[in-house]
Amino acid sequence: MTVLTLDRVRIREGSATRDEALKEAADALVAAGAVTSDYLQAMHDREQAVSTFMGNGLAIPHGTNDAKDAVIGSALSVVRYDGGVDWDGEQATFVIGIAGKDGEHLDILSQIAILFSDEDDVARLNAASTPEELFELLSAVNES
């Protein structure tokens, strides 16, 4: 199952607001054909209920369970903001937008959690100088 493709991996030199990061994540998932444009609102609704900041510089924004109709397929978008994103007082560097069809997001989330729980892996992700390098380090998510 291919949930991440190179065209959805980006590196931004500057910073962004949480809302800008949510929009970029949602736009990439819409462009991938994984979600409808309604998904962005569902991501905002999720943040209102509970922050998707996971620690270790990682936020994994996703929609609410009520947004199942907005999900067409499973996909990820990855943006590394080298200037960081203020995520409700926490500092996110990686914003990984996720859409999962039929519960597939749970497998995808566990792959990401494993990767970001290892400090050496996170250091390598931060050191990647091109989207291609970053994609290569994250490509294990396609093997779930």
Catalytic residues: 62
Say how far apart CA 12 and CA 98 lie, in whole Å: 19
- Local structure of 37: helix, strand or coil: coil
Say how far apart CA 109 and CA 89 lie, in whole Å: 23
Q: Are strands 58-59 and 53-55 parallel, antiparallel or unpaired?
A: antiparallel
Give, rounded to a whole angstrom, the gap between the first and last alpha carbons of the chain: 7
Q: What is the largest distance, in Å, between two alpha-carbon atoms of the chain? A: 38
Structure tokens that stand for 109 in this block: 């989330």
Say how far apart CA 101 and CA 30 lie, in whole Å: 14
